[in-house]
Amino acid sequence: MRNAFVRALTEAAARDPRVVFLTADLGYRLFDDFARRFPGRFLNAGVAEANMVGVASGLALEGKRPVVYSIAPFVTLRCYEQVRNDVCYNGAPVLLVGVGGGWSYGPNGPTHHGLEDVAAMRALPRMTVVCPGDPYETEAAVHVLFAHEGPAYLRLGRAGEPAVHPGPIQLRLDDVLVLREGHDVVLLSTGNMLATAVATADVLAGVGIGARVVSVPTVKPLPVAALAPLLRRVRAVATLEEHSLVGGFGTAVAEYLAERGSPLRFRRFAAPDAFAAVCGAQDWYRAEHGLTAAQIAAAVTALFE
């Protein structure tokens, strides 16, 4: 996802001279080409995220289109007051980019785990939250968000996430993407759980359960008009995310289902509401907390028993 983001960012900057990139001493070599191609539009703010967001807000209010980039918990939680007061309160068109969502920085421990960022950003008025599911969704999301007027948070994985879509896609903030059809359960995935959602559908097919796989990149505002017809004539719905169980995508879907009085069986698959006590790789954390395809498929199957 990270490389796809850089490609899309560079394309956007070539088209629009207002695009300015700010980083908090992160991304060595990754953005070297951008810095060479667009001198004066690459700013390293140092390890000073709060100041960086304030600068970005000022640039936005003067007509620029700033992009602020850092590790997910640093670009959201470390500078939350500035995001709230400088960016959102002013409606400034600043694109915040958090790299390493979920357990992408697994061995670095809880300080680097991005498990509360979506909940924090969802709580802010005027903030749009987008979590692409693969590199193709990432590139499409960048282009869509540069056309969006207002604050936005783009949540990425780190590197090496597989391409799930067969090729480039078109994306709208008010829409979802159906990757697999099925009439028993709907698997709603956001962010870097998309490949796992497809693998889960394969496991469920082996036991006779048809799973509709839907990628939902836009977590806020939740695209309910696009989701509503996909939830008809199925018996259950499940959400998949690499984020805390509290306040994230699953919570947004639960709020929607509860308010419309949905009779569907519902299950959220997410990280626990706890700090990690042991440092490990991303795949290890997923297995420890029931987020592998086999584990999710087993839990979904139990919904029908």
| 19-23: strand order across its sheet | 42-44, 19-23, 65-71, 95-99, 152-155, 128-130, 218-220
Alpha-carbon separation of residue 42 from 71, 94, 111, 296 (angstroms):
17, 15, 27, 42
**What is the pLDDT tens value at each position of the chain, 305 positions in all?**
999 999 999 999 999 999 999 999 987 788 999 999 999 999 999 999 999 999 999 999 999 999 999 999 999 999 999 999 999 999 999 999 999 999 999 999 999 999 999 999 999 999 999 999 999 999 999 999 999 999 999 999 987 899 999 999 999 999 999 999 999 999 999 999 999 999 999 999 999 999 999 999 999 999 999 999 999 989 999 999 999 999 999 999 999 999 999 999 999 999 999 999 999 999 999 999 999 999 999 999 999 98
Token representation of residue 207: 């036991």
| Full set of structural domains in the chain with CATH | 2-155 (3.40.50.970), 177-303 (3.40.50.920)
Neighbours of 279 (CB within 10 A): 14
Its pTM stands at: 0.97
